[in-house]
Amino acid sequence: MADRNDAHSHDAQRKSPSASRRNFLQALAGAGAAISFSSRIANAQQGEIGYWAKDLSDAQLTNMFSTILKIRWYERTLVDKMLTDSNYRGYNHFYVGQEAVATGVCAALKNTGGVMEADLIYSTHRPSGHAIAKGADIKKMAAEYDFRATGLNKGYAGEMHISDKSIGFMGADGMIGPGPVIATGSAFAIRARGSKQVVVNFGGDGTYATPHFHSAMNNAALLKLPFIYVIENNLYHQYAHYSWSCPMKDIAEAAGTYGIPGVVVDGQDVMQVYNAAKTAVERARAGQGPTLIEAKTYRYYNHWGAPGAKPGELGAFGYDPLAISSFRPEREVREWMTRDPVDICRNTLIGWKVIDATKATAMEAAIKQEVLDAVAWADKQPFCKPEDGLKNVFVEGSVAARQFG
């Protein structure tokens, strides 16, 4: 595990931290370009990616690692809970393996100030990573996932509809498709209002096959909206390989159809994701319109819940009883696990001398404990009262009928 990033960390260990960080980024950008760009996308994006990560402070970089760890342990804790605690009422779609995508994107965004100031993100049916990276409170999330009255959304959202407007986390979405249309509507409102916010829509590879993807991209391009579509291509939608519904190797190629930049990044490497997201955010804030980012990534668990997983062990293998047959070989899961986003970020930061191995290990232990405490707190929270079920559905009080102002 420690040697996996030797190619990256080797240089870094011999030179000064800043020089090695630069070298690393150049090597990384070169490698990224080699695997990432095809046809006209290459012309649109090469040289535009920028080496933004080098401008981050040590504190910001450490924070990225902390976020990746928080997502990882929040979810691993809930995997174990689903396997061992029959009282747990949550049903979760785990994001483990994809942590670097949400973390890298949200590190490039403004995450405070509510809906009128923060950058906005629209999430999916696999929302934990997006919510945590945007800054949601994991205690309230854990309570919400178990439908407790003190949860982030008073226990009526669960995982599938969780949201937190105060940080610009506009919500999970159980429907595959419509999210980007709503998100481009937000981007249109932002442009009309003249604020400098940016809207990010996260979607899986499955969303490429929906009309909403193309409608959103077309309108965002036509209207030059401050909009970023992040496709998390984890190779499968439920139990179908993405090539069954997308004729191209890279979904990002679709950007060419709409005349906007499309970029492919290694979704296991938070720095690559951050670089691409930061470039897209700068472009959107400058009024130059949308970008499509495709992050190549992988989920370690099955589509839904914890079938095939064992308590205390990372990943789920073998048959998923919900699938008709084994939809992915065990060796594919294990191969992706050798490019783990936690390890890659950890090794990068150690190579850059931002943290050392002792600190990295201590951070992981502290975060694991923080998550265990959050889930223990959630377990003690009250359940929702049935008579409260119809509260918070409609606006209470008076609402003026008006078109403007």
Ligand X SMILES: Cc1ncc(C[n+]2csc(CCOP(=O)(O)OP(=O)(O)O)c2C)c(N)n1
Residue ranges binding ligand X (CB under 6 A):
125-126, 174-177, 204-207, 234, 236-238, 303
**Of positions 90, 180, 204, 256, contacts Mg ion by CB under 5 A:** 204
Q: Which does 308 bind (CB under 5 to 8 A by kind): Mg ion, ligand X, none?
A: none
Helix axis angle for 357-379 and 138-145, nearest 10°, is 40
Give which of 65, 11, 66 is closest to 269, Cα–Cα.
65
Binds Mg ion by CB under 5 A, chosen from 186, 234, 268, 279: 234
> Does position 90 bind Mg ion by CB under 5 A?
no
Cα dihedral 196, 199, 200, 206 sign = negative
Q: In which region does residue 353 sit, left (phi positive, over 0), alpha (psi from -120 to 50) or beta (all else)?
A: left
Task: By CB under 5 A, name the one of 99, 119, 205, 294 that touches Mg ion.
Answer: 205
**Which of 234, 272 has the CB closer to Mg ion?**
234
In Å, how far are 144, 149, 156, 391 from 386, measured between CA atoms? 16, 11, 11, 10
Sign of CA dihedral 202, 206, 209, 212: negative
**Calpha distance 239→316 (Å, rounded):** 14
Total residues at interface with Mg ion (CB under 5 A) = 4
Please identify, using beta-carbon distances, which residue of 130 and 140 lies nearer to ligand X.
130
- At its nearest, how many Å lie between ligand X and the CB of residue 126? 4
Do the bridges between strand 236-237 and strand 291-296 make them parallel or antiparallel, or are there none, so unpaired? Answer: unpaired
CB of 202 to Mg ion, least distance (A): 11
Closest CA to 174 of 160, 153, 162: 160
* CA-wise closest residue to 36 among 197, 269, 195: 269
Nearer to ligand X, 168 or 267 (CB): 267
Identity of the residue, 264 or 374, whose beta carbon is nearer to ligand X in the bound complex: 264
Minimal distance, residue 297 CB to ligand X, in Å: 9
Strand partners of residue 229: 201, 292
**C-beta of 119 vs 205, nearer to ligand X:** 205
- Residue nearest to Mg ion as judged by C-beta position: 204
166 binds, among Mg ion, ligand X, none (CB under 5 to 8 A by kind): none
How is residue 187 written in tokens?
A: 């981007």
Q: Contact region for Mg ion (CB under 5 A) — 5-13, 20-28, 180-188, 236-244?
A: 236-244
- The residue with its CB nearest to ligand X is 204
How deeply is 67 buried, as exposed, middle or buried, from its count of CB atoms within 10 A (0-12, 13-18, 19+)? buried
* Cβ nearer to ligand X, comparing 141 with 176: 176
From Mg ion, ligand X, none, which one binds at residue 8 (CB under 5 to 8 Å depending on kind)? Answer: none
* Residue numbers at the binding site for Mg ion (CB under 5 A): 204-205, 234, 237
